[in-house]
């Protein structure tokens, strides 16, 4: 934004982000219920979450090169097409475990290409002095989609007590087509002519920056924790007798709370700094997830979901704005893809690990394990760069 006027690219990116997250956060819980309906074991839920992340992990760094070469618009269009293919595959394979996993794979790839296009637009066009706020505004739009998606679970069910999975999947088809149309209006940055290192050399140069690995780890763990709740809160409802409406409300409140935290992100960073903010918020998030695993009243669970959403939502925009500062000339697309690659590692490893735990301990054990991983993320976040009064990046020598 300049001169108090919202620029066109800001509106387009926010609309795009809303649609991407709306489809994702309606689609994935619907697939969880679809798996439950065909009586799949709980461990398959963790495997499905890993399927969303693992194949796209292989494409994360190449996607950075793709967006730098062809621009954000082309990458976003590819993402929209993959979203549409995923939704149609799920409709056709509604009762097939194999096709549901294929739909999840396509969704994960579409989600990757869509997000790298959005984040590169913000990284290339936001002013340095307002980058924290710009990423906060962008993720605020994403949170709006995350809040709207689970509302579809509260639609009148099919008579069996579950949500209307077929209806939700057809809605996702329509929204995915709309997403593809919006992708065609994304801006495309002009290459700045700066020399670019090779893909692996660029990634290694960024990873050698003090604290970069731990910051990426904190970001990935925080995002994976949201992924796990998206998959396992429906399973928690099935185990403890929570209605789909309550589970939907927990997911919506989590997303709305994340929106609230990102609306005040810029002011919070100025008050306490990035590092302190991330360590404190991840610690509180860990406590909230652990409490949700306990047999508490539905109203308390909804409140705890809000606490978790508010504090875990701080992590992503902070790491986005900070890691952009590490980017070599002409390498912002690659830098954002490296961050997404780190997120995908966590999104693959953590759900897969907790899926194995679910077979032994049930959903409560999964949530306790997620709480422990968030505690680890709080330690890792102490390596995130801060800003001094002049806005320059600073780093404790002992942080890494």
Residue-by-residue DSSP string for 141-198: HHHHHHHHGGGGGGS---SSSS--HHHHHHHHHHHHHHHHHHHTTS--PPP-------
Label residue 130 by pLDDT band (50, 70, 90).
low
Measured CA to CA in angstroms, residue 340 lies from 119, 253, 285 at distances of: 10, 25, 21
Q: Which of 51-65, 266-280, 368-382 has the lowest mean pLDDT?
A: 51-65
Res 383: pLDDT: 67
What was the pLDDT predicted at 132? 61
Measured CA to CA, the distance from residue 340 to residue 157 in angstroms comes to: 36
Average pLDDT over residues 352-375: 78
State the number of CA atoms in the 13 A half-sphere of 292 facing the CB: 36
Does residue 393 have a pLDDT over 50?
no
Which residue carries 């290339």 as its tokens? 124
Please compute the mean of the pLDDT values over residues 2-28 and round it to a whole number.
81
User: Which residue stretches of the chain are H helix?
Assistant: 8-37, 43-57, 60-70, 72-92, 97-125, 131-148, 165-183, 199-207, 212-240, 244-263, 265-272, 274-292, 298-312, 315-325, 332-361, 363-380
Retrieve residue 10's tokens.
């800001």
Q: Is 60 exceeded by the pLDDT of residue 178?
A: yes
pLDDT band for position 386 (cuts 50, 70, 90): low
Share of the chain above pLDDT 90, in %: 18
pLDDT reported for residue 187: 82
Spatial CA neighbour of 284 closest among 383, 384, 377, 184: 377
**What's the whole-number mean pLDDT along residues 269-298?**
87
Residues 189-206: what's their mean pLDDT? 57
**pLDDT top residue among 322 and 248:** 248
Which of 119-123, 209-213, 348-352 is the most confident on average? 119-123
User: Quick one: DSSP state of residue 95?
Assistant: T
Report the mean per-residue pLDDT for the chain: 78
> Largest Cα–Cα distance of the chain, in whole Å?
61
395, 210 Cβ separation under 8 angstroms: yes
At 248 the pLDDT is: 82
* pLDDT 10s digits, 214-263: 777 888 888 888 878 877 788 788 778 888 788 888 888 888 888 888 77
Instruction: Identify the structural domains of the chain with CATH numbers, from first to last.
Output: 8-188+198-394 (1.20.1250.20)
pLDDT confidence of residue 231 = 75
Residue with tokens 């992503």: 316
Any bridge partners for residue 386, and if so which? 394
pLDDT at 169 over 60: yes
| Integer Cα distance of 325 and 315 in angstroms | 16
CA atoms lying within 13 Å on the CB side of residue 165: 21
Higher pLDDT, 92 or 359: 92
Q: What is the pLDDT of residue 129?
A: 57
Q: According to the model, what pLDDT value does residue 127 have? A: 65
- Non-local CB neighbours of 63 within 8 Å, separated by 6+ positions: 75, 112, 113, 116, 337, 340
CA-nearest of 193, 211, 241 to 323 is 211
User: What is residue 2's three-state secondary structure?
Assistant: strand
For residue 224, which of 31, 322, 371 has the smallest C-alpha distance? 371
Structure tokens, 232: 């396992």
Q: Find the mean pLDDT for residues 63-80.
A: 82
pLDDT of 395 over the 50 cut:
no
Higher pLDDT: 343 or 93? It is: 93
């Amino acid at each position: 934004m300049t001169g108090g006027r919202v620029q066109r690219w800001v509106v387009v990116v926010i609309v795009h982000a809303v649609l991407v997250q709306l489809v994702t956060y309606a689609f994935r819980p619907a697939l969880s219920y679809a798996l439950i309906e065909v009586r799949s074991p709980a461990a398959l839920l963790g495997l499905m979450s890993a399927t969303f992340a693992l194949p796209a992990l292989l494409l994360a760094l190449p996607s950075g090169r793709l967006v730098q070469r062809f621009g954000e618009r082309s990458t976003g269009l590819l993402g929209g097409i993959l979203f549409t293919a995923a939704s149609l595959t799920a409709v056709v394979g509604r009762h097939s475990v194999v096709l549901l996993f294929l739909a999840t794979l396509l969704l994960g790839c579409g989600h990757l290409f869509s997000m790298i296009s959005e984040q590169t637009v913000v990284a290339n066009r936001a002013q340095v002095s307002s980058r924290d706020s710009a990423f906060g505004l962008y993720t605020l739009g994403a949170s709006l989609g995350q809040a709207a998606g689970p509302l579809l679970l509260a639609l009148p069910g099919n008579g069996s007590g579950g949500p209307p999975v077929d209806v939700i999947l057809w809605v996702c088809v329509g929204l995915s087509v709309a997403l593809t149309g919006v992708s065609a209006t994304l801006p495309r940055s002009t290459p700045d002519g700066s020399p670019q290192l090779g893909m692996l050399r660029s990634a290694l140069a960024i990873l050698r920056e003090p604290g970069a690995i731990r910051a990426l780890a904190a970001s990935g763990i925080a995002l994976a924790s949201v992924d796990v709740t998206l998959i396992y809160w429906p399973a928690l409802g099935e185990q403890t007798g929570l209605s789909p409406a309550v589970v939907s409300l927990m997911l919506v409140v989590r997303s709305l709370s994340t929106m609230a935290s990102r609306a005040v992100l810029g002011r919070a960073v100025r008050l306490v700094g990035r590092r302190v903010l991330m360590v404190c918020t991840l610690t509180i998030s860990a406590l909230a997830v652990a409490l949700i695993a306990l047999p508490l009243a539905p109203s308390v669970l909804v409140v705890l979901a809000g606490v978790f959403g508010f504090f875990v939502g701080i992590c992503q925009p902070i790491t986005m704005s900070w890691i952009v500062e590490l980017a070599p000339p002409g390498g912002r697309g690659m830098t954002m893809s490296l961050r997404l690659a780190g997120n995908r590692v966590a999104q693959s490893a953590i759900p897969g690990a907790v899926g194995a735990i679910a077979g032994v301990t049930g959903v409560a054990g999964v949530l306790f394990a997620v709480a422990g991983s968030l505690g680890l993320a709080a330690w890792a976040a102490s390596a995130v760069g801060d800003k001094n009064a002049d806005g320059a990046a600073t780093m404790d020598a002992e942080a890494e």
